[in-house]
Structure 1
Amino acid sequence: MLLTLGFGFGLAVSAVSAQGSESGVASTSAVPVISSVLPPSSSPSAVSASSSAALSISIPTSASASASSLPTVISSEAPSSASAPASASSVSSSVPSSASAPPSSPSSDVPFPPLGAPVNRHLVPIVPFNFTPFPIPSHQPISSIFIPTDPLSPPPVFDSSSPTSGTNPPTIPSFQDAWDIAYSKAKSLLSTFTLEEKVNITTGVGWQNGLCVGNIPANEAKGFPGLCLEDSPLGVRFADYVTAFPTALMAASTWNRRLIRERGLAMGREHVGKGVNVALGPMMNMGRVAQGGRNWEGFGADPFLAGEAAYETVLGMQQAGITACAKHFMFNEQEHKRTTTSSFVDSRTTHEIYAHPFLRSVMAGVGSVMCSYNAINSTYACENSPTINALLKSEYGFRGYMMSDWQATLSTFGSVEGGLDMTMPGDITFDSGDSYFGGNLTEYVRNGTIPEERVDDMATRILAAWYLAHQDSPSYPTTNFNAFNIPDEATNERVNVQGDHYKIVREIGRAGIVLLKNEKPKQKFPHTNTDLGRPALPLTGRERAVLVAGLDAAPQRGGPNMFSDQGGNEGILAMGWGSGQRGFRLRWPALVFTLALALRTTAQFPYLISPYEALQHRALFNRSIGTLFDWQFDDFTPSALTSLLSQAARKDAALVFINSDSGEDYINFDGNEGDRKNLTAWHNGHTLVQTVASR
């Protein structure tokens, strides 16, 4: 059972230093870094509870509620001094008594109120925690079944129809030895790092302060080049000369392991070719709600299918040398109010449905996982120890790292204790210049609140995933594009990584079509007065008059990438919207070109062939029959529908194309705020189908 409730929260952020800001220090990175060192003039005693970062979350209840029914209240503050950490406050959970319960925070649709907004806090003392390393398997895998495997050389796809593989059990890869080697290298490198350098590995450089949507700073003196993290679920986002692959939902609809694996491999190769280290996918939320805005990014609502598709996709992507990222962990099943809802889920439902694709990703050796915006059982996903520490890292044995979704880190102590290893994009809010990690995390370690062993664990996991993918190789490509300024010739080398990937795109597009109904028509061919004698599809090629109807058959009037992040629908629909910009800093003189080119899609289409173009091309070569080809793209005008009736009556075949769209919550298209507001076809599609079918 899964129950979703909404609640509002307030956020107040202030600096950790007496001057009211965190300062930068010298960094080996070529881009600005949110520093892990406090200003020289600051001292631990300058960090006060009243001026620290604070977060409060409360679920309003009635005044007459009993103590046992009152909500959990979570609050966060930095420690007040190095000498007295126990007197400060931390992220923790408690059930306050009715007498001491604070007033409820007003509900708000804005996830991050302005700096200095009032916050209701229920403060409890910080209790420094002792970090215990996560267990590793105590027994060696059965060698005849679990084959030691390197991510670059996964086992072949199991094909039950093959005479050889069908008679034997499939090979199950074991990445334990590969992880052991990667951990050994990571610990060796980390032993040379200072505390500040370790913290820098866990803290992104901030929004738009690097070439990619997420960036970990380099430490060139120690031989670490940094990390480039880039979307999207179906191709390299904000880059040119890349392939826009079929959606995960389309790939899963093939029920074909080979095609799903090859799609992952091709996407991984394109990310590597662009110099990306971490591809932010695949997405494997379950699509529990049919209206869910990002359902198209995932593999569907069946946990077995989603698990197997996630498994094959991760194996394929990491075979290319990229680090895959399983997301969004967990229960991110809606876009509406996604930052202010809590999903209450029992253990059996969690294991059998929602966590299963993540388990299969761990079995595929996935290097990273991304936690989601929502809360889980009243605790936010990115600081939820029962799901991250107990389930993913301990029960499932995940040895990679947990990164936050962008701006999903909401505390320092609670996030680190809860299992978060990397904060993205690094700053608390876009362009805020401060961080819950960075200097805050360093200070928590220095005053003894957070053990340095936990920071070692965080940094080791990140470095180990880098080594696991063999990205320490001198031949691994450096980042050769600029996600925030595509036209910039100085930072975008325009490397073409498409190869022959159009072949897998076409094959998945053909194999993933779902035919719901295909009955023998009752009427005869109007021109020949002969009975078709078979279902309507496939067409025979003998049709002499064909009608194509519906806006979804037409090219977009402004080209395939006319809408920012694909947040629109005025023609053929090939992907939903999202995984794009919420704030964008444009740099003159490329202003006009950046508006036209860089504010683009989850993956930019190099080209897009509409049904109208493809069918007319086929009719052109059908000259022996002399096919007449007609079309009608006006779905709404009454006169157009009347005309459509007469056109349909004179055709041997009428093909109607309709669609509906959805995406991420920050784009609202025609009242669809990410999630769909209904389940009807867009552009009057239902009337269009009925009109044509009536003739």
Structure 2
Amino acid sequence: MALIIRATVLILTSLACAQDYDSSPPVYPSPLTSGIGWETAFTQAEAFVSNLTLEEKAQLVTGTSGPCVGNIGAISRLGFNGLCLQDGPLAIRQATYASVFPAGLTTAASWDRELMYVRGLYLGAEFRGKGSHVALGPVVGPLGRSAYGGRNWEGFSPDPYLTGVAAEHTILGTQQSGVQACLKHYIGYEQETQRNPGLSVDNITIEAISSNIDDRTIHELYLWPFANGVRAGVASIMCSYNRVNGSYGCQNSKTLNGLLKTELGFQGYVVSDWGGTHAGVDAINSGLDMDMPGPIDRSQNSSFFGGNVTEAVNNGTLSAERVDDMARRIMTPYFYLQQTNFPPIDGEEPTLNDEFPPYEDQFILGPSNVDVRDHHAQLIRQLGAAGTVLLKNTNNILPLQAPKTIGVFGNDAGDLVDGEYFSGSTFQNQFGFEYGNLPVAGGSGTGRLSYLVSPLEAIKGRAVQDGTLVQYILNNTLITSPGGLGGIVPVPEVCLVFLKTWASEGIDRVSLEADWNSTGVVHSVATYCNNTVVITNSGGLNVMPWAENPNVTAILAAHLPGQESGNSLVDILYGAVNPSGKLPYTVALNESDYNYALITNSTELVETENPNAWQSNFTEGLLIDYRHFDYYNQSVAFEFGFGLSYTTFNMSGLSVAETVFGNISSLPDPVLPVPGGNPSLWGVLYTVNVTVTNTGNVTGATVPQLYLSLPQIPDVGPTPVNVLRGFDKITLQAGESRWVLFPLTRRDLSYWSVSIQNWVIPSGSIGINAGFSSRDIRQSSQMTVV
């Protein structure tokens, strides 16, 4: 039934000029923070900054060598012990006696707000216990425009709504523990290839890749989750390496001053990615507040900030007011999170920074090897299972019922053989470690494992309980060689094949199939064993050319589950946990189906002598992942939001209701936005309600999802057929029904108008579609917003 609901076009105060596709118009000056939402802390920061000398202010905004990945030196005369910034989004990367949590990708696959929050809470507790004031995460850039992105796994999902919710809850949890979250990387950072400038053969500086994004796309896709993070009160935002429409992300006045600090009302500080600063005064005036790691090329005496800040203020090229604003932005979250009383930095940390000893007197160190893991392994195991997606389950082969024989195959099944820290040379290793389970991928987003429960270890433990015979071959080369499985006797009742896909900062993927001849491994095992279950641990999505093989009876996408990897998986395999994960991306039928957004790379670019040759035009606009496949009505293997369970669910009784805020014209527009933008954008205008029923025989959790179909907007490019605008995770006993409510905000119902330069609720019919995936729609309706 179609509903006609009273509304008006949402037209907010215009805060930015129209943006050309290939340029970044200047926006000056950098807006001053007033500490909205942090008023008491802002007053404390004002008092603190008023007592600083100009040299001390310059020190406060400039990184220095020290025990942590990033450091701000102490100002002892005022009782300020400095700041410790540490990687990363899923662990205190290099720390000892710390947990390695499931990756952002796994967290998104759980579609569970509570687990997202608790993960952030526990991460924050561990950072605090190690004396780290700032946790460099969560990640919402890359969003995942290209399936080949080497760091997609650090973030959550190519869907901005799901990513925004995950980021918001992670930030709230982290900062509840008294640690500053740093949302990154802002903005348009969608590939590793040429993310930084380099030198040509003729020693000409070739600039970093420029992400060229139109105004509507940047608002509705790439800025969307940052708005969630700013609204959640995130302390800091890290600007990215790449250029945006020709201007470097850390000195782009349009994106920093215009979008972030003005339109979104961001009150915290912008910190550069490490080495992402390319100017001093120009970057500062464009909105950069803190330079990391501070020195240029590891030379402590050379910095874009530091002494240049002092000199620029003294010679009049930089205003003292701007420097004061930088300092207040840095100190306000410090006081807000009560970091004046903070644990000392773990004494083991100096080993992480070779240049630390000359600056030892700037930092207070505590005991070494402080154990901060607490009881967090329980949450890691739970989230690892919650983020595992059951994609296929022929004849309900899963859960396993104490089989007499099991075969385990593949180089992803066993324990690690090359150490427990996924970094170092693997930055440049396309396939990472050959042997051992992949609980996390590589680069600055990784973590130092204090232990790993491998799948084979956990399966063996369960086999003892059931009296099961376990046979295994972990050498992929042997598995795919003629007669390679001949030593497995008898043929197992069930064969478990473990595949993995390496990914890392600094490199982009070159294939979307799992690594190490994965297709050959599945083919060999499935030919030998007609009951083959495939499990993937992957730093991103995989195409699965073997998915329709009739001998492949079940598929589990286990993603990157962290240190409890094997336990999480066995919980699913044997039914201790009913799978409830849903895909946070689309699995296409063919790798070529993702050609709508490829990594920009070619022989001509690699060999270029043109400084500005590296250009990536986001011509697909809003149509990435399921938005692309739905718009072009393209068949896929497993759609966005899909995931099976050991029970079944149904949905009924969709209804739409206008809220007390439905009269849009009754809400005045503020003169300036608060954190997150104009607050009326977040007002709930309507609610959609459905009833979900567990129609199976066992208790299980599911994720009802809400998609909106906005009308096509003339002359602004394609509008997606459906966009996610609500979800909830609920657990139901067999036969139980529950009412689920999806709130719809103004932002949810709007598109970004380039001509008006504001969010606008479109005229015409809006489709309302509720179901269990983007293509499993069970209830539909329409409403006409007049």
TM-score by length of 2: 0.59
Q: Which residue of 1 aligns with 2:134?
A: 278
Matched, 1:195 2:195: no
Q: Which residue of 2 aligns with 1:495?
A: 370
Q: Which residue of 2 aligns with 1:49?
A: none
DSSP-derived class of the 2:110 partner: coil
Matched, 1:661 2:517: no
Shift in alpha-carbon separation, 1:132–1:496, aligned structure 2, 3 A: closer
RMSD over aligned CA atoms reads 2.5
Deviations along 1:387-432, whole A, 9 cap, x unmatched?
Answer: 1111111111110000000011100121011100000000122235
Shift in alpha-carbon separation, 1:256–1:184, aligned structure 2, 3 A: same
- Give 1:408's aligned amino acid: G
Q: Which residue of 1 aligns with 2:469?
A: 628
Shift in alpha-carbon separation, 1:505–1:648, aligned structure 2, 3 A: farther
What is the rounded CA distance, in whole Å, between the counterparts of 2:334 and 2:301 in structure 1? Answer: 27
Matched, 1:310 2:167: yes
Matched, 1:320 2:177: yes
Q: Which residue of 2 aligns with 1:347?
A: 215
- Residue 679 of structure 1 deviates from its aligned partner by 1.2
DSSP-derived class of the 2:182 partner: strand
- Give 1:513's aligned amino acid: T
- Residue 352 of structure 1 deviates from its aligned partner by 0.9
Matched, 1:213 2:72: no
- Residue 649 of structure 1 deviates from its aligned partner by 7.3
Matched, 1:686 2:519: yes
DSSP-derived class of the 2:302 partner: coil
Matched, 1:558 2:418: yes
- Give 1:281's aligned amino acid: G
Indicate if the aligned counterparts of 1:552 and 1:573 stay in contact, CA closer than 8 A.
yes
- Residue 642 of structure 1 deviates from its aligned partner by 2.2
- Residue 301 of structure 1 deviates from its aligned partner by 0.7
- Larger RCO: 1 or 2 (CA < 8 Å, sep 6+): 2
What is the rounded CA distance, in whole Å, between the counterparts of 1:453 and 1:515 in structure 2? Answer: 56
Shift in alpha-carbon separation, 1:428–1:563, aligned structure 2, 3 A: closer
Indicate if the aligned counterparts of 2:407 and 2:494 stay in contact, CA closer than 8 A.
yes
Deviations along 1:430-469, whole A, 9 cap, x unmatched?
Answer: 2353101111111111111111000000011001111111
Q: Which residue of 2 aligns with 1:586?
A: none
- Residue 176 of structure 1 deviates from its aligned partner by 3.7
Indicate if the aligned counterparts of 1:131 and 1:451 stay in contact, CA closer than 8 A.
no
Indicate if the aligned counterparts of 2:25 and 2:254 stay in contact, CA closer than 8 A.
no
Which residue, out of 444, 448, 460, partners 1:616? 460
What is the rounded CA distance, in whole Å, between the counterparts of 1:637 and 1:199 in structure 2? Answer: 60
Indicate if the aligned counterparts of 2:130 and 2:370 stay in contact, CA closer than 8 A.
yes
Q: Which residue of 2 aligns with 1:227?
A: 83
Which residue, out of 480, 492, 517, partners 1:651? 492
Matched, 1:572 2:405: no
DSSP-derived class of the 1:434 partner: strand
* Structure with higher strand content: 2
Indicate if the aligned counterparts of 1:368 and 1:402 stay in contact, CA closer than 8 A.
yes
> How many correspondences in the alignment?
482
Q: Any gaps of 5 or more consecutive residues in structure 1?
A: 1-68, 73-91, 95-128, 137-174, 521-534, 581-601, 666-673
- Residue 133 of structure 1 deviates from its aligned partner by 4.4
What is the rounded CA distance, in whole Å, between the counterparts of 1:247 and 1:277 in structure 2? Answer: 21
Shift in alpha-carbon separation, 1:641–1:423, aligned structure 2, 3 A: farther
Deviations along 1:45-95, whole A, 9 cap, x unmatched?
Answer: xxxxxxxxxxxxxxxxxxxxxxxx9x98xxxxxxxxxxxxxxxxxxx999x
What is the rounded CA distance, in whole Å, between the counterparts of 1:511 and 1:226 in structure 2? Answer: 38
Indicate if the aligned counterparts of 1:284 and 1:306 stay in contact, CA closer than 8 A.
yes
What is the rounded CA distance, in whole Å, between the counterparts of 1:477 and 1:228 in structure 2? Answer: 11
DSSP-derived class of the 1:283 partner: coil
Matched, 1:383 2:258: no
Matched, 1:546 2:406: yes
Shift in alpha-carbon separation, 1:395–1:219, aligned structure 2, 3 A: same
Shift in alpha-carbon separation, 1:212–1:565, aligned structure 2, 3 A: farther
What is the rounded CA distance, in whole Å, between the counterparts of 2:415 and 2:42 in structure 1? Answer: 50
Matched, 1:336 2:204: no
Indicate if the aligned counterparts of 1:566 and 1:575 stay in contact, CA closer than 8 A.
no
What is the rounded CA distance, in whole Å, between the counterparts of 1:308 and 1:553 in structure 2? Answer: 32
Identity %: 42
- Give 2:385's aligned amino acid: R
What is the rounded CA distance, in whole Å, between the counterparts of 2:332 and 2:489 in structure 1? Answer: 62
Indicate if the aligned counterparts of 1:645 and 1:692 stay in contact, CA closer than 8 A.
no
Indicate if the aligned counterparts of 1:237 and 1:483 stay in contact, CA closer than 8 A.
no
- Residue 517 of structure 1 deviates from its aligned partner by 1.1
Indicate if the aligned counterparts of 2:28 and 2:253 stay in contact, CA closer than 8 A.
no
Indicate if the aligned counterparts of 2:68 and 2:352 stay in contact, CA closer than 8 A.
no
Shift in alpha-carbon separation, 1:685–1:694, aligned structure 2, 3 A: same
The structure with more radius of gyration? 1
Structure 1 window deviating more from structure 2 (685-694 vs 399-408): it is 685-694
- Give 2:128's aligned amino acid: V
- Residue 647 of structure 1 deviates from its aligned partner by 3.3
Q: Which residue of 1 aligns with 2:397?
A: 536
Shift in alpha-carbon separation, 1:549–1:337, aligned structure 2, 3 A: same
Q: Which residue of 2 aligns with 1:264?
A: 120
- Residue 135 of structure 1 deviates from its aligned partner by 7.1
DSSP-derived class of the 2:67 partner: coil
Q: Which residue of 2 aligns with 1:183?
A: 42
Q: Any gaps of 5 or more consecutive residues in structure 2?
A: 1-19, 197-207, 529-786
Matched, 1:398 2:266: yes
